[in-house]
Amino acid sequence: MTSAERIYGYSQLPQEEDFGGEHGLIETSPDWPDLGTVEFCNYSFRYRSTRETALRDLCLRIEPNEKIGIIGRTGAGKSSLFQALFRFTDRSLITGHILIDGVDISRITLKHLRTHISIIPQQAFLFSGSLRSNLDPFNHYSDEQCWKALEDVQLKKFVSDHSERLLLPIAESGINLSAGQRQLVAAARAILKQSKILLIDEATANVDPATDTFIQQLIAHRFQDRTVLMIAHRLNTVIQSDRILVLKNGQLENLDVPQNILHDYQ
């Protein structure tokens, strides 16, 4: 009975809007986004009409290949920023615009938008199946490309030592891997996807110091040609950023180079 109630509840959820609003949908160039510029233009949104704004009058421009660290207290709006970029929001509760390479993201399909942004979440979720299906669920890449991504994240030897190799079974939620290994699989997925924009949501919050250090090095060297927005759990993880964005109560409190920011937030 409980399962049936849950299925019924899911069936009643409103469908996400995907029609481009009053101006309609537009098509982008096949290689969009080829630069990785991100602009928030007087952008505000709230999760419900009765709640305070999660982001308020946000105005900022992030340049191609720039590395932006994002800091702020709990509830400051850090995760809301990522939800806005993926359009996990009700259009009626939004004012302003987000532009990626000059394109208003509200005017492209959700599938097109979300397949062109990569994310390494705080807790990487893996599905029951093979390692390969978790790396490349839509079978877009060759085995050679998958091996190269695993090599980049230092998982190649671990996988090679198993007889199943790329077909190594992964348990539900990846519980047969360590937390650090799950994060490295998520990083390998991001390497394979090659999106110009990468979001990193406190990806090193639950890993050991050695994995933390390696992931920071990976971001600095393997994602040089991408625009990276990284929510920080520890300030040392964003000290090498080009700029640091400070959010407070959903508003932009500061945006500057690390040396002008971090001494105020130790």
**What is the per-residue pLDDT across 103-148, written as a single tens digit (0 to 9) for each?**
999 999 999 999 999 999 988 889 999 999 999 999 999 999 999 9
Q: Are 248 and 241 in contact (CB under 8 A)?
A: no
With tokens 């079974």, the residue in question is 169
- 254 belongs to a structural domain: yes
- According to the model, what pLDDT value does residue 147 have? 97
Residue 208 located in a structural domain: yes
Task: Decide if 135 contacts 188 (C-beta within 8 A).
Answer: yes
Task: Give the per-residue pLDDT at 14.
Answer: 57
- Tokens for 101? 């390479």
Within a domain: 222? yes
Q: Which of 22-36, 58-72, 96-110, 112-126 has the lowest mean pLDDT?
A: 22-36
Domain that holds residue 59: 37-127+177-264
Could you report the per-residue pLDDT of 213-237, keeping only the tens digit for each? Answer: 888 888 888 999 999 999 987 787 8
Contact by Cβ (8 Å): 262, 239: yes
Question: Span 63-75, mean pLDDT?
Answer: 94
Phi, psi of 114 (to 5 degrees): -70, -25
The reported pLDDT for the residue numbered 151 is 96
pLDDT class of 193 with cuts at 50, 70, 90: very high
Domain harbouring 77, CATH code: 3.40.50.300
Residue 246: inside a domain: yes
Q: What per-residue confidence (pLDDT) applies to 266? A: 65
Is residue 22 in a domain?
A: no
CA 45/CA 64 separation, integer angstroms: 25
Q: Please give the model's pTM, rounded to 2 decimal places.
A: 0.88
Range with lowest mean pLDDT among 6-10, 230-234, 243-247:
6-10
The pair of structure tokens assigned to 110 is 């959700």
Q: Classify residue 136: in a domain, yes or no.
A: no
* Band of residue 16 on the pLDDT scale cut at 50, 70, 90: low
Q: Is residue 155 part of a domain?
A: no
Lowest mean pLDDT among 35-39, 160-164, 234-238, 248-252: 234-238
Q: Is residue 15 over pLDDT 80?
A: no
171 vs 3, higher pLDDT: 171
Average pLDDT over residues 73-77: 91
Secondary element (H or E) of residue 99: strand 94-100
Identify whether 11 is part of a domain: no
| pLDDT above 80: residue 19 | no
Contact between 68 and 229 under an 8 Å Cβ cutoff? The reply is yes
Q: How confident is the model at residue 64 (pLDDT cuts 50, 70, 90)?
A: very high
Q: Where are the alpha helices (DSSP H) in 89-229?
A: 110-114, 131-135, 143-152, 156-160, 179-193, 209-222
Give the model's pLDDT for residue 124.
87
Residue 176 token pair: 């047969």
pLDDT at 79 over 90: yes
Q: What is the mean pLDDT of the chain?
A: 89
Number of domains in the chain: 1
pLDDT at 212: 82
